Amino acid sequence: METSTVLSKATSLNSEELQFKIDFLQRELEQMHHESNRTALINNLTELLYDAETEEDVISMLLYALPQVTEFRQLRYFEIDKLGLQLKEKSFISSPEEPAESVSNGLNVPLNFFGGLLADAVLRQESMTLENGIAEEDELSLRFSADRYTILPLISRNLHRKQTATPCNRAQFRNEEEYQNACIRSLDYPVVGAFWIDLTDVNESTIGAGISHITALLHTAGSMIGELRMFLQISTINERTDKDLRAARDVQNGLLPAKLPCNDLIQASARYMTEDQVGGDYYDIFELQKGIYGIMVADASGHGTPSALIMAMTKILLKTFASTERSPSETLELVNKAIVNNAKTNKFITGLYAILDTTAQTLCYTSAGHCPQILVTKSTGEVREFNSDGMFIGMFPTMMLTDHTISYVPGDNRFVLYTDGLTEATNSEGNMYGATRLANSALKSVNDTTSEALEKMLGMFDRFIRANKKEDDLTLMILDF
């Protein structure tokens, strides 16, 4: 009897241990599934944000996604009321299971000293956190019974255009308050609103990841809002007179890099010329991470306003998807998929996208229907052409692109990137300038700096075509590495 009792207890214990392990594994699987869905949502939202036609659309998508990627008890969104110089609560999210309410909840916070930490975060354009319990002077802390919270501003961003507020010339105003109010009311004031996030009783292990997810989404949304604001300016200006179209050209130039990299690793110079007030070429060199650069040259079919708009969209998508985790072909395939599935246009884009890794000393590139690009080895005078082996961007669901990787000796390479407006330009006799003449001009100026070589090569081009009218936009970019 005693032996039977012992065996019974052992069997019971083993069953309990087994059930515990099963329960533990189920919880782990559920957590992994939850994290997988959360990551997928963030990636999908990043891809879909560009569909938004207004700032309100961007914010609505953001509010829809936030409950799915966080586990905070309360999230509240406040938008700026520029006329009333206050922050108005527009949405309240109480838990991941309940959708956001897109209606005003009646709480208005003044954008001044009396607005507390929320106003401070907006005016300073930086995140702020209350850590020290319920402060008697803090209205939000008292009203929402939150002894710990953080505030993350939503800021409109433009990657290549410095944010300015034209009316905000300090000398024009009598005091700091007038100056501050004028800046808030200006069209260029970058803060769109702010998120108030309750951290009370939140597990410390989840706070960092939750804030990181939200910060990443806000950064993407801010970039999209910045580009949408630029689109709005371009669309409005393009409906006006030729004088206004010259202003549109200035706005479009804001999409191009204001300054190309010039350091011990790489040096670059570029020139873009359009036949119309606005055009469809695009070039860029941007740092993906320290010592690793994305390089892009692209050409939208046709020229003028329609080409400029599709190219602006391409630029936004490239900056959204470009990453050291993706190869050039994978990046352009994502850009292509987004345009094919969503853009209603008969335009297409040719382009070469490359990733230059100055640490590994490699150049990886892919070409989507673009004209052959030129790489010159300075020490030997060898000229190599990077030909296209894929389809255009924006025409077919897949482009069948291939990645090509070369190793290089630092300081011995000149990369000449261009659009076909350069090589297909003709002189008065009808002869095209051609890739051979371009390569010869690159060799003749190979020992010059990139800026000197740019001027010499364009000078040779101008002497060839003389006074003959250029029929297309043209871009020439020279990169030494």
For residue 99, give the H/E element and its range: none
- 297: in domain: yes
- 19: in domain: no
Tokens of 158: 């433009």
251 in the same domain as 194: no
Tokens of 131: 């850590």
Residue 184 is part of which domain span? Answer: 45-231
CB atoms under 10 Å from CB of 459, counted, come to 12
Q: Based on the structure, what is the number of domains in the chain?
A: 2
Q: In this predicted structure, what is the pLDDT of residue 159? A: 54
- Rounded CA-CA distance 189/182 in Å is 9
122 in the same domain as 104: yes
CATH number for 294: 3.60.40.10
Residue where a domain stops, chosen among 187, 213, 231:
231
Residue where a domain stops, chosen among 208, 231, 254:
231
Ramachandran sector of residue 293 (left: φ over 0; alpha: ψ -120 to 50; beta: rest): beta
Rounded to a whole number of angstroms, the CA Rg of the chain reads 28
- 6: in domain: no
Whether pLDDT at 30 is above 60: no
266 in the same domain as 224: no
- Rounded CA-CA distance 88/328 in Å is 43
- 14: in domain: no
pLDDT tens across 448-480, in order? 999 999 999 999 999 999 877 777 789 999 999
254 in the same domain as 394: yes
Q: Which of 216, 196, 218, 220 is nearest to 72 (CA)?
A: 196
Q: Which residue has the higher pLDDT, 75 or 165?
A: 75
162 in the same domain as 287: no
pLDDT tens across 272-330, in order? 987 666 678 899 999 999 999 999 999 998 766 777 788 888 988 999 999 999 999 99
Q: Which of 318, 321, 369, 371 is nearest to 348 (CA)?
A: 369
174 in the same domain as 254: no
How many Cα atoms are found within 13 Å in the side-chain-facing hemisphere of 27? 6
- Rounded CA-CA distance 205/220 in Å is 25
254 in the same domain as 212: no
248 in the same domain as 214: no
Tokens of 309: 């708009």
What ranges in 96-195 are assigned the alpha helix state H? 116-124, 139-143, 176-185
Q: Which residue has the higher pLDDT, 182 or 358?
A: 358
- 34: in domain: no
For residue 303, give the H/E element and its range: none
Q: Which residue has the higher pLDDT, 18 or 273?
A: 273
Please check whether residue 416 is in contact with residue 442, taking contact to mean a CB–CB distance below 8 angstroms. yes
Q: In this predicted structure, what is the pLDDT of residue 166? A: 43
Q: Which of 82, 70, 112, 83 is nearest to 196 (CA)?
A: 70
Residue where a domain stops, chosen among 216, 231, 246:
231
Which residues have a Cβ under 8 Å from the Cβ of 363 and sit 6 or more positions away? Answer: 354, 355, 356, 357, 405, 406, 408, 415, 481
Q: Which of 387, 371, 375, 383 is nearest to 424 (CA)?
A: 371
- 12: in domain: no
pLDDT tens across 318-375, in order? 999 999 999 999 999 999 999 998 887 788 999 999 999 999 999 999 999 999 999 9
Q: Which residue has the higher pLDDT, 109 or 255?
A: 109
pLDDT tens across 383-404, in order? 999 998 889 999 899 999 999 9
341 in the same domain as 306: yes
- 18: in domain: no
- What are the DSSP calls for 172-232, one per residue? GSSSHHHHHHHHHHSTT--EEEEEEEE-TT--HHHHHHHHHHHHHHHHHHHHHHHHHHHHH
pLDDT tens across 77-103, in order? 999 888 889 998 886 655 444 444 444
358 in the same domain as 436: yes
300 in the same domain as 341: yes
pLDDT tens across 407-451, in order? 999 999 999 999 999 999 999 898 999 999 999 999 999 999 999
What is the percentage of the chain residues whose pLDDT exceeds 70? 77
CATH number for 198: 3.30.450.40
CB atoms under 10 Å from CB of 433, counted, come to 20
401, amino acid identity: L
306 in the same domain as 157: no
- 124: in domain: yes
